[in-house]
Chains A and B, each alone.
Chain A
């Protein structure tokens, strides 16, 4: 067998850069706890400023200014590696992510399709370049050797065991993936290259080093095989329906849509998963697809409810062109947790659950149209309310506050007004430039309405009050 190793020396950095338009500006990737930020990787413009991986952020800032810092996100990097594995899967059915920042591909079986190797390699390089990943590619007769040779080579094609051994022999001992203490021990014995080690009698090594060192050397040379976990493509749902005719009305799409959603529901049921979000693509004869995103607050898998939501979105849509095909793709497939329903719970058919109502409203009116009122811990009444996406978590303050707050305070004449309590003094908010200093009174109008009104601190007692809210 022949193995190719694609080493991605700056995977984390590339993952960031390929998403940025200003990739030619100095940028560093940082990591570490807040009190000890370390530069993890730098792009070439940043390198030109003297910045290096391993520097503390403080040192970097002392050396240069005007560079962008991006927080290293291991999860995002992992995601990119998965993406690359999926990409590589097209070229070989044996793809392994055994080593971090590297892809191993068994290529001998694929040579018939993509070969010979130089062409295959060129193809890989071209696509990787397009994807925006810097890389090194090495071919060797076993996966371990391919990986380790990639530490020192790019473009090496050791196409049989003989060539592989020769290439390995010239390798520095500390680049071979040996356990760190063994590599150090070798170099402290003056053994800097593998060929020096290979000339030593086997039993002298056995006496001095743990068995795993010999094992690793044997694997490198292909004397013993290593079991590799092979990559399997992820589970996702994708379905495409060719309509065979142009559909001009969204109503006419409902039927095929129902089929697709039923398929989705079946698929979800088989995996015991729900769907949190799915995309509906309406493909047109020309031009980009129309995309409808259907998002849910909680994972769901009931076909009827999913269809209801999709239909809500679809009905709002004005078709800009006839639809040829329909595609549905669902990637967020979390485990499904059913609502704990009681055995004999009798939910009246007509009565809709709050969640369903909310989702329905969101589907009909748009995500932004349905908001919740949040309470904010702030002494200033006008800052104590906020409309929010999520249900507020903060408890209201200790003192009673009017349920209805006016958009803006309005002046309230004093005549006929009774002051029931107060003044309650509020002085707060200096930090955001909105400092208030007011004395609040509970007032009752001649009509018996109870309101909440204030006067600026320091204003005279007969100056008017400002009404800020009504008590219900």
Chain B
């Protein structure tokens, strides 16, 4: 029997066409005894790294290729013979993709005018009647052209074969067999039909002849092929396979960019030089022996692994940001090193953490290190543009993100092509969580009114299960850059992003990791913007420049504040869940914050790890270590695994994993929900631990905890970098609350709380808030000298809903020249149009010039542009008109409508008498309530949250004039009173008050909608469903 290599095969990276993953294809091809398998996705190499990985795993040669249709020309399959051919193919695809918008391509005849050496071509003839395209291809490819013979049990295969062979003879092209494979096995026929229907935006029933007539386009058994094709056509495929000796990883020639090293230096020497220069700024008193040792060790390791350029590249970007006054902070595996500290990439003194550099930059895995750098969110674009400028668009591009099907999207698409109506699609996709990768359970479906046993739903669910995890399209990574010395399109095809002026390579993060390409993450973080604004304000008002590093460490009042959960607005530990944890954990030092940041994660809660840590920390549980070796690993978290790094160390120490294997485990941990595949690790881990004398129960428990990390397991290195920002923001909130609140509002939108909530919090901390006023306000909120040396916060014009920044800037500019005389002077000099005037009047910003907001509105309406002719002539005075003054309630509504907050009484204080009559207590009056007492409260609903992890509980945050209260609504109550829960703006809750470790919850027993009391008030609840 002749051998066979499949040379025309699509994976699921031919979106909405290929119905099998590369792994499935290679597994099947190996099992069928193929000699090699080509992956020829349509004008893309986005799936080729995955194919390469699959090929490596099953040990079957991969041939790199691509199928494409030439515009007004033939369809062909190109196969890569050697590295030159690969570069040509990347260039060709790049050209075709760059010509048109994201998601489509145009290959033109003229593209083939350049040399095509290194590429083999298979002509997929549309008809046997027209030899012209074949002649054209023959001229271009010469003896490197074959005629593809697809036989799929069509109408008359025998005739078709004869016709094709005749055509081949006529043109003197060798024919060969190939399968136009769209799936690994016949069983994917239904999914493939669905994908066709999705692609054509129709239903399967209406797709008609656009569906394939049968399921033959799979990897067929060689006996079947032998029955269809003459042996020569099969043998030809193996000859081609033998010719294609290109190996992806070995043969792509990636180099780090060179220009970051000045002439006369080697990269290593330059890196050392920069490090030495950084030492005095970090340690003015000189570097300690320990740090020097660490530095030398790190530099040696970097040199050995040839990663100098990587560190230099990151340093270069950070240097640019610093010069522009853009705050940034590195994090990630290699960021917490002495090298990064002295280079200024991170502000985190590595001696503050116990992280070992080598863990993340292991000699064994020759993988690029990973440093993510966060920049101020509103200035990141400047950094992106710098990178494009510095390396040129042909050498720098963003990495791709492969959007994959989650359950809800998959069920929607499958349901649609099976003809379900839109409202049912919505209901079905609601049955899946937002990011869930599991088909909804039958119970959930019954609840939503579906019959999971109906044949239609059965089909929907089965196909959804198959489609989940499939790639849907490529999108751009928000800030992951690939930079190379040689043009990028010789390494990987580049295409247009949805955003103008952005280009994206066809590979994602994992692909780059596997191929060893350098990636730098330029990310955005709102808190950095807020901190930079804090430092700016601090400099103005306190006469000194602060920095993250210069903030005093180990500040007692700061930790006391954190332990009180007085953390509205700070970084990371401001959420409801975090605030509930703080009084129990009571952080006392920096490392406690590192733990605090990591501990409230979906992962650890699922894995049942939070409580053991808390119990141990509060001496309610004995701290025990299974062995001395593991004590070293787990001591800093009291024996409880909290970080990915600990899991890796555990695998190394207790189960004899190599660092490389441990890293593999970490990757699988992150992906097991999507791809499964933890089983080999479980066996390996359990066996290793048993061998080292640990008992089975312990091993099993550890493994369950590892699974619990899921996709959320937090690396210690990230937690440490985050904790630094947490500490900095807490220190500022504690010592400079006015500066902090001001900077936070000016950086909005960011974080968890609205400006209204931040301002209320500030007022509760006795900070004077001054209203928006055209005589004093700038665009941003600003600080003014207040009573007793304190700073008062002046609300900025940015808070006036709908007011434009350029108007505000112009207003402030002309005010500098001369204060405004009256409303007319303001409107005319600041060039305000009617809309802007009205907004200022409604905001109450004209109070000083025109009186209350009704009068102000009356005044501004009368301002008319002065005609030059009458310049200097005072307009004739008008009859004075007395307008009614707004009531307190009217002012309140107007305040909320315009600036989203009020400096007058809180709405609930206006309603307090009525609420008291209804038996509601204020949040202040809860202090003398005992644990377990039944009470009734009322408040504005400012948050509703239903965490996926908390089995059907809804957390509602109520706000009144004194503060906030957390309400817990159990599932059955939520079901019974859904209308009130979802709809109420002002809610009355009766229930039982519970205290524990300084945390207070109200367990709801009955909800009441009091919203009619507030009609017209615009307080937006922030929902996080």
Binds A, one of B203-211, B651-659, B720-728: B203-211
Is A430 engaged at the interface, CB distance under 8 Å to the other chain?
yes
Is B930 engaged at the interface, CB distance under 8 Å to the other chain?
no
A379 near B211 with CB under 8 A, answer yes
Closest CB-CB distance, A61 to chain B, in whole Å? Answer: 7
Binds A, one of B262-270, B390-398, B878-886: B878-886
* Most chain A CB neighbours (cut-off 10 Å) among B213, B427, B879: B213
Binds A, one of B402-410, B582-590, B753-761, B975-983: B975-983
Question: For residue B209, which residues in chain A have a CB less than 8 angstroms away from its CB?
Answer: 377, 379, 397-398
Is B889 engaged at the interface, CB distance under 8 Å to the other chain?
no
Binds B, one of A74-82, A160-168, A201-209: A201-209
Query: Nearest residue in A to B419 (C-beta to C-beta)?
Result: A431
A431-B418 CB under 8 A given contacts A189-B858, A207-B864, A426-B213: yes
Query: Nearest residue in A to B190 (C-beta to C-beta)?
Result: A430
Question: For residue B853, which residues in chain A have a CB less than 8 angstroms away from its CB?
Answer: 188
Give CA–CA (A65, B189) in the complex, Å.
38
Question: For residue B158, which residues in chain A have a CB less than 8 angstroms away from its CB?
Answer: 421
Interface string of A202-240 (1 = CB under 8 A from B): 001001110000000000000000000000000000000
Is A59 engaged at the interface, CB distance under 8 Å to the other chain?
yes
Is B422 engaged at the interface, CB distance under 8 Å to the other chain?
yes
Binds A, one of B148-156, B537-545, B691-699: B148-156
B189 near A190 with CB under 8 A, answer no
Give CA–CA (A196, B209) in the complex, Å.
72
A378 near B978 with CB under 8 A, answer no
B153 near A425 with CB under 8 A, answer yes
Is B216 engaged at the interface, CB distance under 8 Å to the other chain?
yes
Is A191 engaged at the interface, CB distance under 8 Å to the other chain?
yes
Is B838 engaged at the interface, CB distance under 8 Å to the other chain?
yes
B883 near A189 with CB under 8 A, answer yes
Is B861 engaged at the interface, CB distance under 8 Å to the other chain?
yes
Is B372 engaged at the interface, CB distance under 8 Å to the other chain?
no
Cβ-defined partner of B878 (8 Å) among A204, A432, A437: A204
Closest CB-CB distance, A47 to chain B, in whole Å? Answer: 13
A191-B422 CB under 8 A given contacts A63-B982, A421-B156: no
Is B854 engaged at the interface, CB distance under 8 Å to the other chain?
yes
Closest CB-CB distance, B894 to chain A, in whole Å? Answer: 8
Is B927 engaged at the interface, CB distance under 8 Å to the other chain?
no
A188 near B857 with CB under 8 A, answer yes
Cβ-defined partner of A421 (8 Å) among B155, B206, B879, B885: B155
A190-B979 CB under 8 A given contacts A207-B864, A428-B211: no
A188-B838 CB under 8 A given contacts A208-B858, A423-B153: yes
Closest CB-CB distance, B974 to chain A, in whole Å? Answer: 11
B854 near A189 with CB under 8 A, answer yes
Give CA–CA (A66, B883) in the complex, Å.
51
Query: How many residues on chain A are close to B (CB under 8 Å)?
Result: 49
Question: For residue B418, which residues in chain A have a CB less than 8 angstroms away from its CB?
Answer: 431
A188 near B842 with CB under 8 A, answer yes
Give CA–CA (A378, B209) in the complex, Å.
6
Give CA–CA (A397, B212) in the complex, Å.
12
Give CA–CA (A428, B206) in the complex, Å.
13
Give CA–CA (A191, B858) in the complex, Å.
10
Is A346 engaged at the interface, CB distance under 8 Å to the other chain?
no
Give CA–CA (A287, B855) in the complex, Å.
74
Question: For residue A394, which residues in chain B have a CB less than 8 angstroms away from its CB?
Answer: 208
Cβ-defined partner of A59 (8 Å) among B879, B894, B982: B982
Give CA–CA (A407, B422) in the complex, Å.
36
A421 near B864 with CB under 8 A, answer no
A201 near B983 with CB under 8 A, answer no
Is A390 engaged at the interface, CB distance under 8 Å to the other chain?
no
Closest CB-CB distance, A26 to chain B, in whole Å? Answer: 14
Query: Nearest residue in B to A34 (C-beta to C-beta)?
Result: B422
Closest CB-CB distance, B401 to chain A, in whole Å? Answer: 24
B213 near A204 with CB under 8 A, answer no
Interface residues of A in 165-198 (CB under 8 A from B): 185, 188-191, 196
Question: For residue A57, which residues in chain B have a CB less than 8 angstroms away from its CB?
Answer: 423
B864 near A50 with CB under 8 A, answer no
Question: For residue B213, which residues in chain A have a CB less than 8 angstroms away from its CB?
Answer: 379, 424-428
Question: For residue A431, which residues in chain B have a CB less than 8 angstroms away from its CB?
Answer: 190, 193, 204-205, 418, 459
Question: For residue A421, which residues in chain B have a CB less than 8 angstroms away from its CB?
Answer: 155-156, 158-159
Give CA–CA (A57, B426) in the complex, Å.
11
Is B867 engaged at the interface, CB distance under 8 Å to the other chain?
no
Give CA–CA (A204, B159) in the complex, Å.
92
Interface residues of B in 838-876 (CB under 8 A from A): 838, 841-842, 853-855, 857-858, 861-862, 864
Give CA–CA (A57, B422) in the complex, Å.
11
Question: For residue A425, which residues in chain B have a CB less than 8 angstroms away from its CB?
Answer: 152-153, 213-214, 216
Is B557 engaged at the interface, CB distance under 8 Å to the other chain?
no
Give CA–CA (A378, B894) in the complex, Å.
63
B153 near A207 with CB under 8 A, answer no
A201-B838 CB under 8 A given contacts A63-B979, A425-B213, A426-B214: no
Interface string of A258-277 (1 = CB under 8 A from B): 00000000000000000000
Is A422 engaged at the interface, CB distance under 8 Å to the other chain?
yes
B838 near A185 with CB under 8 A, answer yes
Query: Nearest residue in B to A59 (C-beta to C-beta)?
Result: B982
Question: For residue B286, which residues in chain A have a CB less than 8 angstroms away from its CB?
Answer: none
Is A252 engaged at the interface, CB distance under 8 Å to the other chain?
no
Closest CB-CB distance, B1009 to chain A, in whole Å? Answer: 9
Is B215 engaged at the interface, CB distance under 8 Å to the other chain?
yes
A424 near B154 with CB under 8 A, answer yes
Question: For residue A423, which residues in chain B have a CB less than 8 angstroms away from its CB?
Answer: 153
Give CA–CA (A69, B215) in the complex, Å.
41
Question: For residue B280, which residues in chain A have a CB less than 8 angstroms away from its CB?
Answer: none
Is A58 engaged at the interface, CB distance under 8 Å to the other chain?
yes
Give CA–CA (A432, B864) in the complex, Å.
71
Query: Nearest residue in A to B430 (C-beta to C-beta)?
Result: A58
Give CA–CA (A254, B427) in the complex, Å.
60
Question: For residue A378, which residues in chain B have a CB less than 8 angstroms away from its CB?
Answer: 208
A201 near B842 with CB under 8 A, answer no
Is B449 engaged at the interface, CB distance under 8 Å to the other chain?
yes
Query: Nearest residue in B to A65 (C-beta to C-beta)?
Result: B449
Is B788 engaged at the interface, CB distance under 8 Å to the other chain?
no
Closest CB-CB distance, B1023 to chain A, in whole Å? Answer: 11
Question: For residue B190, which residues in chain A have a CB less than 8 angstroms away from its CB?
Answer: 430-431
Question: For residue B884, which residues in chain A have a CB less than 8 angstroms away from its CB?
Answer: 190-191, 196
Is B676 engaged at the interface, CB distance under 8 Å to the other chain?
no
A201-B189 CB under 8 A given contacts A189-B857, A399-B155, A431-B204: no
Give CA–CA (A34, B189) in the complex, Å.
30
Is B325 engaged at the interface, CB distance under 8 Å to the other chain?
no
A204 near B854 with CB under 8 A, answer no
A62 near B978 with CB under 8 A, answer yes
Give CA–CA (A397, B209) in the complex, Å.
7
Closest CB-CB distance, B1021 to chain A, in whole Å? Answer: 13
B842 near A430 with CB under 8 A, answer no
Closest CB-CB distance, B845 to chain A, in whole Å? Answer: 13
A interface, CB within 8 angstroms of B:
34-35, 37, 50, 57-59, 61-65, 69, 185, 188-191, 196, 200-201, 204, 207-209, 376-379, 394, 397-400, 421-428, 430-433, 437, 439, 442
Q: Can you name 22 A-B pairs with beta carbons within 8 Å?
A: A37-B423, A50-B983, A63-B978, A64-B979, A185-B857, A190-B885, A190-B886, A200-B881, A204-B879, A207-B861, A208-B861, A377-B209, A379-B211, A400-B155, A421-B155, A425-B152, A427-B213, A427-B215, A428-B211, A428-B213, A428-B214, A433-B455
8 A-B pairs besides A204-B862, A209-B861, A425-B213 with CB distance below 8 A are A58-B426, A188-B842, A191-B883, A398-B155, A421-B155, A425-B214, A427-B215, A431-B193
B interface, CB within 8 angstroms of A:
152-159, 186, 189-190, 193, 204-211, 213-216, 418, 422-423, 426-427, 449, 455, 459, 838, 841-842, 853-855, 857-858, 861-862, 864, 878-879, 881, 883-886, 890, 894, 978-979, 982-983
When A and B form their complex, which 3 residue pairs have the shortest distance between CB atoms, in order from nearest?
A: A377-B208, A190-B854, A425-B153
